[in-house]
Amino acid sequence: MDYKASGVDIDAGHDAVRRIRALARSTFTPQVLSDIGSFGGLFRMEPGRFRDPVLVSSADGVGTKLRLAFLSGRHDTIGADLVNHCVNDILVQGAEPLFFLDYFGTGRLSPEVAESVVSGIAQACRENGCALLGGETAEMPGFYADGEYDLAGFIVGVVERERLISGRTIVPGDVLVGVPSSGLHTNGYSLARRIVFDELKLTIDSHVSELGGTVGDVLLQTHRSYLSLVQPLLGAGRIKGMAHITGGGITENLPRVLPTGTAAVVHPDAWTAPPVFTWLQQSGLVPEDDMRRTFNMGMGLIAVVEPGQAEQLIAELTARGGRGTCAIGEIIPGDPSVTYS
């Protein structure tokens, strides 16, 4: 009996690392001081760039969207989903990403699949200007089903302390500015899969005329990164708070940035939800409240600004590629919560 006979192929692991090494190196910035394979990743802060730097970190996964990757055999987009989700989570506090690490766990390691997943991670890291500093590839036979894997990401960014976006200055009368999503992003897939595969009996390759594409094409749309849209506008100090609309929808995520004494009113008629949300709701007979607590409903990021700043911010975000950005509500007195009207 040897390790390979027990289900762990060390040679496959070496092959995966060999494939991944070049992808990771392609993301390295001058601040990276280590190579892939070190016990720990080394990253040097740029001396003199920040007076009072604050590190901002986050960890997340992509949920059951992974099932769509398994069914379709498309593994590159799921890595980009992971990075962009984590980038947005620290962006809403004003941080820019520095480096990223990933965890890839599987029952039987396929170097080709691992390479495909990490290629998406590396591409998104390059697009967001952060280094893929390292990660973990774990082969655990009997723990995952054949052909399946788990994926998690860990990000660290930095922001000048005086430019932290905390939401503390939000007051009644401020305006909510919504920036459109690129689809479901990485949340709500347990409900979406039940509707699509269990109720409608569709397959990953089924064409849906209402959506203008296959189930796989629509549901695997990459989670959008808002970094390039928003970061250049943060220096002006106009944005008081931001919420990344992930699991829990607007209902659960927007209150996370509201200070005591404030609540939010959102006007759903201010924007048109993309067809995928209407199709899912009608196909599954999903109550409106459940839709709003499960999906982003077409708005992946919400910024809070003073009334006099909203129009200019909308114009600038639109010009930078945020087509569909609009005012979607306002702040009122109350306890942190969201109501719809």
Same domain, 246 and 328: yes
Q: For residue 81, which phi and psi values (nearest 5 degrees)?
A: -55, -45
Provide the number of structural domains found in the chain.
Answer: 2
Same domain, 184 and 331: yes
Same domain, 211 and 254: yes
Same domain, 61 and 21: yes
Lowest pLDDT segment from 90-104, 138-152, 256-270, 292-306: 138-152
Position 2 pLDDT exceeds 70 = no
36 — pLDDT class (breaks 50, 70, 90) = confident
Same domain, 154 and 24: yes
The residue whose two tokens read 């939800």 is: 273
Burial state string for 57-80 with b = 16 or more CB within 10 A and e = fewer than 16: ebebbbbebbbbbbbbebbbbbbb
Are 238 and 314 in contact by the 8 Å Cβ rule? The answer is no
Burial (CB < 10 A; 0-12, 13-18, 19+), residue 283, is middle
DSSP characters over 99-129: EEEEEEEESS--HHHHHHHHHHHHHHHHHHT
Residue 164's pLDDT is what? 97
Position 179 pLDDT exceeds 70 = yes
3-state secondary structure of 168: coil
Same domain, 38 and 127: yes
188, part of any domain? yes
275, part of any domain? yes
- The two tokens of residue 265 are 């009113």
Same domain, 187 and 335: yes
11 — pLDDT class (breaks 50, 70, 90) = confident
135, part of any domain? yes
Q: Which among 329, 276, 320 is positioned nearest to 298, based on CA atoms?
A: 276
4, part of any domain? no
% of the chain beyond a pLDDT of 90: 91
Identify the residue with better confidence: 330 or 16: 330
Q: What domain range includes position 255?
A: 175-340
Mean pLDDT of the chain: 95
What are the distances in angstroms from CA 213 to CA 142, 151, 204, 208, 218? 36, 27, 11, 6, 6
User: For 60-111, what is each residue's pLDDT tens digit?
Assistant: 999 999 999 999 999 999 999 999 999 999 999 999 999 999 999 999 999 9
Q: Span 182-191, mean pLDDT? A: 96
136, part of any domain? yes
Domain boundary among 103, 129, 163: 163
Identify the residue with better confidence: 236 or 279: 279
Residue 304's pLDDT is what? 98
Length of the chain: 341
- The two tokens of residue 271 are 């924007």
3-state secondary structure of 69: helix
2, part of any domain? no
Same domain, 314 and 182: yes
Residue 205's pLDDT is what? 96
Same domain, 191 and 114: no
Same domain, 40 and 89: yes
CATH number, domain containing residue 322: 3.90.650.10
Are 1 and 136 in contact by the 8 Å Cβ rule? The answer is no
